[in-house]
Amino acid sequence: MLKLCGLQFLLVIHSAMCLNLGDLHVTGPLKDMNFSIPEGGGVRILYQFTSEPPAVKFRLSGDKDGIIGIAPENGILYLNGSLDWETKPVHWLQVESVDANGNVVKGPYAVTIYVEDINDNPPEFDQITYAGVVRQNSRPGKPFMYVHATDRDNPATPHAQLTYSILHHFPNPYKEMLFQIDNVTGAISPSRTGSYYLDPQKQDTFTLVVSVKDMAGMSTNAFTSSADVIIHVKESLWKAPPTIRIQENSTQVHPVNISQVQSNEPNVTYDIFEKEKLPRLPFSISQDGVIYVTKPLDREEKDTYTFFVVSKDNQGELTDKPLQIHVIVEDINDNPPVCKQALTVIEVQENEVGGSNIGTLFATDMDEENTLNSRLRFKIKSQVPEVPTSNLFYVQQDTGVLQLTGRSLSKFYASNYSLEVLVTDGAFETICDVEVHVIDINDQIPIFEKSDYHNVTIAESVPVGTVILEIQAHDGDEPDTGSSLIIYQVKEGDPNNTFIIDTDAKTNRGFVKINKALDFETKPVYNLVINATNPEPLVPGVQYNSSSLTLFKVFLTNEDEPPVFLKPVYIGEVSEDVPVNTLVMTVEAYDPEGDSVRYSLEGDVKKWLRINSITGQVYTASRLDREETEMYTIDVVATELNNAAQKSRTSLILHLQDVNDNLPYLVKDNPAFFCYPVRGGERTLIQATDADEQWFYSKFTFSLADDINTRNNWEISKVNATHAYLSPKHSNFEEKIYNVPIILNDNGKPALENKVHLKVNICKCSSEMSCFIEVEREHSLPTAGQAIGILIAVLLIIGAILGGAFFHMKYKQKNEKSHPKDATDSAELNRLT
């Protein structure tokens, strides 16, 4: 602290003593005083106290520290040096006035000097170099170390408010920094980029230059300091363990420790959530990250498990990415072999040679495939009967394929063999039953009862499916086998498959049926050659011969058939404006027997068409109208000339093409009106249409008739292709109905024009803005003619009533002769009268 001494000090004191009281801006009597003085301000006068007799001097005591003083004679309080907030922020002093004898006249009074801090100290880190460790894949924003700096300035002011930042980052291989620092706390953490890219295998050490500024970093005059931070990147502790293998049906006491995980952060909690939806996941995790299996597992029930392990902080937030845990349940041999069928049946022809594969025995094992636990071995345990030898069969031990050992089987010894086959997987054994049926070989051919079934005559109209002949062949092989079943086929004479033969599998009887419609004119006679075969191949050396063939002729008789049209339906197209007698189309039909055909029309309700009965040419008979019917359908009838009962019919469909032959007109959904009096700006929507076909859209033009009154009173404005607005051009309309002539044109070729009159009512309107007309009541008396007419009508009604009463009374009198009267009749008569 700089202090004044020698000549400087004397000059200050001299100046203070030479000043008059009036020259100081801050003077006053003795009293308690407080001063706030910025530190480092140097020599200065603070205040001048004034005295009253008998006081002649002033005396100062307290925390003067050799810097604060008072001139005894004139009471000037001064500093002879700079104050320092960091050394002493407050100085406590006392001042008093004394007389010539040194006795206190007034005081002591408290003088307190508060030193105001200025930013005169730079911040300082508490270490020159820092070192920290961060784990790979650490959570972004989670601090792994702190830096700390202090500032000697007043902490209650911005002078000591520090802010941290990272100046440099060595190395920095990415556009974004891998680390970040909290500017208030100095906490260093990985950035999002760093959490993703930090890898000790690529870069295990980083150097950060960390800066600290006072004045909260908001002033360009702030002091700055820096320090190096050495960061070592280490491998992440948070890793999924390798695939966990657990042997099924373990006898250990559960739960059993199977693995462990560790978070990069301390004081976390661990949890498991399942990837698959299971009734209950048989795994758990402790708060130390130890993973347990909670019960014995069964591979045959489920052979793999996948679940996730997560770590959370005390706020419940995830600290690391979830780890996927994969568990494989290892198989043990705990399942016996199972025969695929309770009884395996194999058929073997008696001529099979030794070594032939006759079938395969299938068995399964629920243990893991392609392991020794599911490897099966086969062995024949017994053969019943053991004739002619006990080892007629052999089974391949690894495949289950059954073979004949060395000789053919013969039904002479046995038709069936029962085998017990032992199947083992090394730990368990199972017996599978096999039954071998010895079947007869196909060494007999089918032989027909007749070599010629002669012929049959049938009408060509016999329906499809009719049986026309039954045939029979016999086979000497074993019944109910493929060697004895007979299949009949037409070998020759029927290239179009007109006939088909079904077989009764029990009797081998054949039924010849009609498969397609017959036609005498196409083919009147069929010479059929029928063969009989077996589905099972014949043994070598045996062949089918003529005994398996038979002959059969089919004669068709001709029948008078109706005419046949060349087309199932006739479709034509013609414009609706064609002249009468225009040829539309020609229909054609023929008679299978060659008779002449005559044509006629039926269903021509509109009498639009006529047909030439000989040629089948169809002409228009009257004017066509598409707007009445767009698609006109009638029947064409073809009749034999010599047999009118034989007739056929087909449909004729005539599509009418539209021409522009209809005038446009207005669609009058609602009457047009305007409320009286007309105020201006009103308009009503009108719509045009016509009956012609509109290919894409209707298009009409609207215009007013060319007369002066119409054009002076009304105007038309187009809305779209079909609508327009009609508006009055002024408000001077009377309350009446106006006929507005409008010219409509359509878009046909050629276009048609129509002049229509639209009635527009200028009327008084109700509150709902609808037009109404007052009905005036007639108050005049009826005329003489009207009065006479009314009188005559009244007299006729009275006469009718009296006549009815008279006839009723006569009727009652007749009934009195045969029926006694009662009071009811009298009352009724009186009522009617």
What pLDDT score does 694 carry? 62
Q: How high is the mean pLDDT of the chain?
A: 87
Are 612 and 586 in the same domain?
Answer: yes
Task: Read off the pLDDT of residues 279-309 as tens digits, 9 standing for 90 and up.
Answer: 889 999 999 999 999 999 999 899 999 999 9
Burial 732-743 (b: 16+ CB within 10 A, else e): ebeeeebebbbb
Please give the average per-residue pLDDT across 392-414, as a whole number: 90
Q: State which of 528, 557, 586 marks the end of a domain.
A: 557
Confidence band, pLDDT 50/70/90 cuts, at residue 785: low
Confidence band, pLDDT 50/70/90 cuts, at residue 19: very low
Beta strands in 587-683 (DSSP E): 589-590, 597-602, 609-611, 617-620, 631-640, 647-657, 665-667, 672-675
Residue 791 falls inside a structural domain: no
Which has the minimum average pLDDT: 412-426, 602-616, 795-809? 795-809
* φ and ψ at residue 587, rounded to 5 degrees: -100, 150
Confidence band, pLDDT 50/70/90 cuts, at residue 787: low
What pLDDT score does 85 carry? 93
Are 264 and 228 in the same domain?
Answer: no
Distance CA 308, CA 186 (A): 35
Q: Does a cis peptide bond (omega within 30 degrees of 0) precede residue 671?
A: no
What pLDDT score does 94 carry? 97
What pLDDT score does 375 carry? 94
What pLDDT score does 433 carry? 97
User: How many Cβ atoms sit within 10 Å of the Cβ of residue 520?
Assistant: 18
What pLDDT score does 22 carry? 39
Residue 223 falls inside a structural domain: yes
What pLDDT score does 343 carry? 95
* φ and ψ at residue 152, rounded to 5 degrees: -75, -10
Task: Read off the pLDDT of residues 216-235 as tens digits, 9 standing for 90 and up.
Answer: 888 888 999 999 999 999 99
Residue 409 falls inside a structural domain: yes
0.85 surpassed by pTM: no
Confidence band, pLDDT 50/70/90 cuts, at residue 6: very low
* φ and ψ at residue 627, rounded to 5 degrees: -65, -20
Confidence band, pLDDT 50/70/90 cuts, at residue 775: very low
Q: What angle do CA 77, 78, 79 make, to 5 degrees?
A: 145
Does residue 784 register a pLDDT over 70? no
Q: State which of 498, 529, 557 marks the end of a domain.
A: 557
CA 238 from chain center: how many Å? 38
Are 491 and 512 in the same domain?
Answer: yes
Distance CA 21, CA 52 (A): 13
Please give the average per-residue pLDDT across 86-111, as a whole number: 94
Q: What angle do CA 736, 738, 741 make, to 5 degrees?
A: 180
What pLDDT score does 644 carry? 86
Please give the average per-residue pLDDT across 324-335, as a whole number: 93
Are 582 and 525 in the same domain?
Answer: no
Distance CA 296, CA 626 (A): 86
Does residue 697 register a pLDDT over 70? no
Are 744 and 679 in the same domain?
Answer: yes
* φ and ψ at residue 195, rounded to 5 degrees: -60, -30
Would you state the structure tokens that stand for residue 565, as one six-digit string? Answer: 């049209």
Q: H or E element: which one contains 364?
A: strand 363-364
Q: What is the CA radius of gyration of the chain?
A: 63
What pLDDT score does 747 carry? 78
CATH number, domain containing residue 98? 2.60.40.60
Does residue 572 register a pLDDT over 70? yes
Confidence band, pLDDT 50/70/90 cuts, at residue 786: low
Does residue 23 register a pLDDT over 50? no
Are 683 and 709 in the same domain?
Answer: yes
Residue 2 falls inside a structural domain: no
Does residue 826 register a pLDDT over 50? no
Are 435 and 467 in the same domain?
Answer: no
Are 355 and 321 in the same domain?
Answer: no
- Between 731 and 271, residue with greater pLDDT: 271
Residue 429 falls inside a structural domain: yes
- Residue pair 501/473 in contact by the 8 Å Cβ criterion: no
What pLDDT score does 461 carry? 85
DSSP 8-state assignment for residue 585: E
Confidence band, pLDDT 50/70/90 cuts, at residue 810: low
Are 428 and 495 in the same domain?
Answer: no
What pLDDT score does 2 carry? 37
Residue 822 falls inside a structural domain: no
Are 326 and 342 in the same domain?
Answer: no
691: amino acid identity, one letter: A
Confidence band, pLDDT 50/70/90 cuts, at residue 190: very high
Are 307 and 353 in the same domain?
Answer: no
Q: For tokens 């990837």, what's the residue?
A: 275
| SS3 readout for 443-497 | CCCCEECCCEEEEEEEECCCCCCCEEEEEEEECCCCCCCCCCCCEEEEEECCCCC
What pLDDT score does 582 carry? 93
What pLDDT score does 352 carry? 84
User: How many Cβ atoms sit within 10 Å of the Cβ of residue 460?
Assistant: 18
Residue 304 falls inside a structural domain: yes
Confidence band, pLDDT 50/70/90 cuts, at residue 698: low
Q: What SS3 state is found at 805?
A: helix
What pLDDT score does 21 carry? 39
CB-count burial class (<10 Å; 0-12, 13-18, 19+) for 624: buried
Range of the domain at 84: 27-116
Q: State which of 406, 423, 439 marks the end of a domain.
A: 439
Confidence band, pLDDT 50/70/90 cuts, at residue 8: very low
What pLDDT score does 832 carry? 35
DSSP 8-state assignment for residue 221: T
Q: For tokens 């392991």, what's the residue?
A: 371
Confidence band, pLDDT 50/70/90 cuts, at residue 783: low
Does residue 322 register a pLDDT over 90? yes
Q: Does a cis peptide bond (omega within 30 degrees of 0) precede residue 255?
A: yes
Are 300 and 211 in the same domain?
Answer: no
Cβ partners under 8 Å of residue 150, min gap 6 = 123, 124, 126
What pLDDT score does 234 carry? 95
Number of folded domains in the chain?
Answer: 7
Residue 41 falls inside a structural domain: yes
Q: What percent of the chain has pLDDT over 70?
A: 91
Would you state the structure tokens that stand for residue 643, as one six-digit string? Answer: 């047999």
Task: Read off the pLDDT of residues 638-659 as tens digits, 9 standing for 90 and up.
Answer: 998 988 888 999 999 999 887 7
Does residue 831 register a pLDDT over 80? no
Please give the average per-residue pLDDT across 537-542, as a whole number: 87
Beta bridge partners of 306: 326
Distance CA 774, CA 777 (A): 9
